[in-house]
Amino acid sequence: MSNRPHLAETTFANNPVEITERVKSPLNEKLNELGFHGSYRPEDVTFLMQIDDIAPTDVKEKEYLIQSGKMHYSQMISVENPPSTAQMQHFQYAFEQGSQRLAEEVQKIANQLLQRFENKPLVLISLVRAGVPLGVLLKHCIEKQQPCYHYGISIIRDRGVDFGALQAIIAQHGAENIVFVDGWTGKGAICKELTQNVQHIPELFDENWQIPRLVTLSDLGGYSWLSASSDDWLIPFGMLGSVISGLTSRTILKQSIALEEAQNDCYNPQKWHSCLIYDHLKPYDLSVDFIEKILAKIELNPQFDTVVWDNSIRLKQQQFCAETVEWIKTEYAISNVNYIKPSIAEATRAVLRRVPEKILIKDESNPHVQLLLHFAREQNIPVDILGSKLGPYHAVTLIKRVEKNQ
């Protein structure tokens, strides 16, 4: 008997909310025509990516090809399975415990953005996939006050941001009012990639900041221009993949595209990064329902504060993160820092998508790490309990070295 729940059987789906008529910003006609929306609505987000049909690669084979240097991770993708019953139960718990916090922090970030970009049409660019649910929520909050556009584009570690898609957005909207959105930071690898990629576009940086305008819900790595906190907490949308991100896969780049070529032909989707649409997961899709449930909480409990965040907070957090990652690297004799996946969200995704060697936990009694401990029991993954040695992190997954015949 399958332990895969149909969406209708879950508690989350059995409590639908009435969809409210709300203010909608106009869509950019050209980009809307070139992009797609996944299982979201047009007013939620426009994805600027190609839709691919790449054949899936077995997880262990993919891990071997990545580690051997034969292929880059972005050139392959594995099948994404429906969430298990246990995973949905943990998601339900995360939603019950964290949805109010999420609703409040989204509003505080939105309020800060409204102050910074007062009476200016704001352009949110979510980094697919983890940034998308936060970007959708921010977009709906901001457009109550002023126009807001929201796009989803790809960024790939060691390969860069999708220059073609980014250039298409800048050509339509300018760069002065662009804000990038990601769900969280772990080590800050994506922000480092983004910073390096957009140095030639000074309008994406605020004065005296060394990083572009990147917004996150939780900045554990110390790499956000604006973040609600630097806490490692059980972010509800961090526990699931495509079923909470418009049915889009992790992004794919089979062959690198030169910067100049992408920028000169920026309205050609063939020059954009790509993704899969997981139609087989439609029965499990929570993307719009999740957004509506959080927006309902926002309507019931409006916030008028902003977040407490500045460059000094960020740099202190960055140092704390760097010291902890270096300790883990030394303690566990890890040759490549990319094999360290810190934060509850990142550790969970690594267990679902990669081949884990071990899970590191700060406190095994913490309710926020119970899904990871469930996966550890289910897959026989060793767990080390490390207490304060894990620094800002409550969980870290270490990736296993995979040989060809394993």
Kindly list the domain boundaries of the chain, sorted by start residue. 7-300, 319-399
pLDDT for 12 equals 64
pLDDT for 2 equals 44
Its pTM stands at 0.93
CATH top class, domain 319-399: alpha beta
17 Cβ contact list (under 8 Å, min separation 6): 289, 292, 293, 296
pLDDT for 1 equals 36
Over residues 346-378, the pLDDT tens digits come to 999 899 889 999 999 999 999 999 999 999 999
Over residues 330-351, the pLDDT tens digits come to 999 999 999 999 999 999 989 9
pLDDT for 23 equals 74
Quickly list H helices, 130-185.
132-142, 163-173
State which residues of the chain have pLDDT below 50.
Answer: 1-9
Q: How far apart are CA 109 and CA 115, in angstroms?
A: 10
Q: Is 107 within 8 Å of 302 (Cβ atoms)?
A: yes
First-last CA distance in the chain: 29
249 Cβ contact list (under 8 Å, min separation 6): 77, 80, 129, 241, 242, 275, 276, 277, 278
pLDDT for 166 equals 98
Question: Can you point out the beta strands (E) in 49-118?
Answer: 50-51
pLDDT for 90 equals 87
